[in-house]
Amino acid sequence: MKKKLLSVLLTGVVAAGMLAGCGQTAAAPAATEAAAPAATEAAAPAAEPAAEPAATEEAEAEAPAASGELIKVGIINNDPNESGYRTANDADLKAMFTEENGYDASFAYSLKNDEQIAAAQKFIQDEVDYLLLSAADTAGWDSVLQDANDAGINVILFDRTIDADPSLYVASIVSDMDKEGENAVNWLADQGLDEYDIIHIQGVMGSAAQQGRTKAVDDKCAAEDNWNLVEQQTAEWNAEKAQQIVQSVIDSGKKFNVIYAENDDMAKGAVAALDAAGITHGVNGDVIVMGFDCNEWALEELLDGDWNFDQQCNPFQASYIDEIIKKLQNGETISEKVIVMDEKGFDASDITQDDVDTYGI
């Protein structure tokens, strides 16, 4: 009996721990939002530094929504601890959806689809005006989104797409992972090496980022004779696994001159292995190091010349979402359902401290 009671209590504790994240509302007095950012058209790879992320910090005061009433939004996101990308993404959303900006926002976090769906149902019951969703999994969302539509709630997807009828959501703001990969590969091709012997370190297999970033390399290696994959292996976004993979290539004595890591952490792990083996890297080094995501520390590595290239994966969707909501509130229609964000690549040879401060996450 005592035991039973205790286990019930414990489950309660665990459940409470999980829910703790869900209840949080963004109350932080964040930077007030700037005017609606400009460019939303599908950005060209070499687009000029777009204004929106910077704009968030430019603190241009603006009155709350015209109606004077707060717009209720429910935001379902992945756990902010998942990665630096997610942390930045969450911070960006929290900074945008504040009372000062005319929003009443509730946040729910989970890496599990079923918990996210449960959170969505709760938000529908709470009669939010907008449901913002970064789905953990692509499948299983049809019925709950249908419920949201029936309740007159506009659904906006950010960061990730889902396998559902496009009529169920008004817009989807995503990174184009394929384009990120192409961007990086194009940069690499421009380096004009005689031979490309690449160690390709992949993310968690099957994730959108991994698929997009891998595809570009695979296509190029298939097309060009002087592009070879020395090793292609998943390190599951884990720096230390990447370190092991590169170490094992070094141990086997195979030649390579490029490290193409699908995120910054893994690039860092790879570099640790190079350092231990006395292999030079970065600008003027023997091995070209490429990463993704543009963490602040990674851009600093570029600045120091230890790495060669980093491709941005833009976590700052809040301003795009804000713009769409404003349009809908004004009765305008959304012309483009899928909005691809601008994403830049940075080269060690021309990166500036300014870039680091602006784009580092």
Partner 1 sequence: MSKDSAKGGFWKRLVSHQMFIPLVALILLAVINLVHDPSFFKITLGTNNAGFPVLSGSLITILDYGSELAILAIGMTLVTAASGGQDISVGATIAIAGSAMLRVLCGGDSRPDALAAPIIVGFIVACLAGMACGAFNGMLVAYFKIQPMIATLILFTAGRSIAAWINNNELPIVPDPKFGYFGSFIPGIPIPTTVFIAAACIIVIALVLRFTNLGLYTQAVGINESSSRLNGINPNFIKFITFVILGLCVAVAALIKVSRLSTINYSVIAKDIEMDAILAVALGGNSLAGGKFNMWASILGAYIIQFLTTTLYKFNVSSDALAAYKAVVVIILVVVSAPVFRDAISKLTKRKAKTQKEVG
Among 240, 304, 332, 357, binds partner 1 (CB under 8 A): 240
Q: Does 134 bind partner 1 (CB under 8 A)?
A: no
Note whether 196 and 258 are within 8 A (CB): yes
**What's 152's DSSP letter?**
T
Q: Is 154 in the site for partner 1 (CB under 8 A)?
A: no
Q: Which of 54, 168, 250, 334 binds partner 1 (CB under 8 A)?
A: 250
137 binds partner 1 (CB under 8 A): no
- Residue 199 DSSP code: E
Alpha helix (H) residue ranges in 262-361? 264-277, 296-304, 318-329, 353-359
Q: Name the residue among 317, 297, 316 with its Cα closest to residue 306.
A: 297
- The residues in 5-64 that bind partner 1, with binding defined as CB under 8 A, are 6-7, 10, 13-14, 17-18, 21
Residue 147 interacts with partner 1 (CB under 8 A): yes or no: no
Only one of the segments 3-11, 136-144, 187-195, 328-336 lies at the binding site for partner 1 (rule: CB under 8 A); that segment is: 3-11
CB of 277 to partner 1, least distance (A): 6
Number of residues this chain uses to bind partner 1 (CB under 8 A): 49
231 binds partner 1 (CB under 8 A): yes
Nearer to partner 1, 275 or 336 (CB): 275
Q: Which of these segments, 42-50, 56-64, 122-130, 228-236, binds partner 1 (CB under 8 A)?
A: 228-236
Closer by beta carbon to partner 1, 18 or else 59: 18
Q: Which of 70, 79, 113, 326 binds partner 1 (CB under 8 A)?
A: 79
If one asks whether residue 247 binds partner 1 (CB under 8 A), the answer comes out as yes
Q: Which of 264, 308, 309 is nearest to 283 (CA)?
A: 308
**What's the first-to-final CA gap in the chain, in angstroms?**
51
Determine if 274 is a binding residue for partner 1 (CB under 8 A). yes
Span from 31-39, 123-131, 278-286, 331-339 in contact with partner 1 (CB under 8 A): 278-286
Provide the phi-psi class of 166: left if phi over 0, else alpha when psi is between -120 and 50, else beta: alpha
Say which residue the tokens 């396998």 belong to.
163
Q: Residue 97 CA to chain centroid, in angstroms? A: 18
Pick the binder of partner 1 from 27, 66, 193, 205 (CB under 8 A). 205
Among 97, 103, 141, 237, binds partner 1 (CB under 8 A): 237
Site for partner 1 contains 253 (CB under 8 A): yes
CB-based contacts of 179, cutoff 8 Å, min separation 6: 45, 212, 340, 343
Q: Which of 195, 276, 336, 352 binds partner 1 (CB under 8 A)?
A: 276
The alpha-helical segments, DSSP class H, found in the chain are 2-23, 52-57, 84-96, 113-125, 142-150, 177-190, 208-223, 239-252, 264-277, 296-304, 318-329, 353-359
Min separation Cβ 184 and partner 1, Å: 18
Task: Please pick, from the candidates 66, 195, 297, 338, the single residue that binds partner 1 as defined by CB under 8 A.
Answer: 297
Contact between 330 and 166 under an 8 Å Cβ cutoff? The reply is no
Q: What residues contact 9, with CB distance under 8 A and at least 6 apart?
A: none
Residue 129, number of CB atoms within 10 A of its CB: 18
Which residues touch 171 (CB under 8 Å, ≥6 apart)? 156, 157, 324, 334, 336, 337, 338, 339
Determine if 80 is a binding residue for partner 1 (CB under 8 A). yes
Q: Which residues bind partner 1 (CB under 8 A)?
A: 3, 6-7, 10, 13-14, 17-18, 21, 79-84, 87, 202, 205, 231-234, 236-240, 243-245, 247-253, 265, 268-269, 272, 274-280, 297
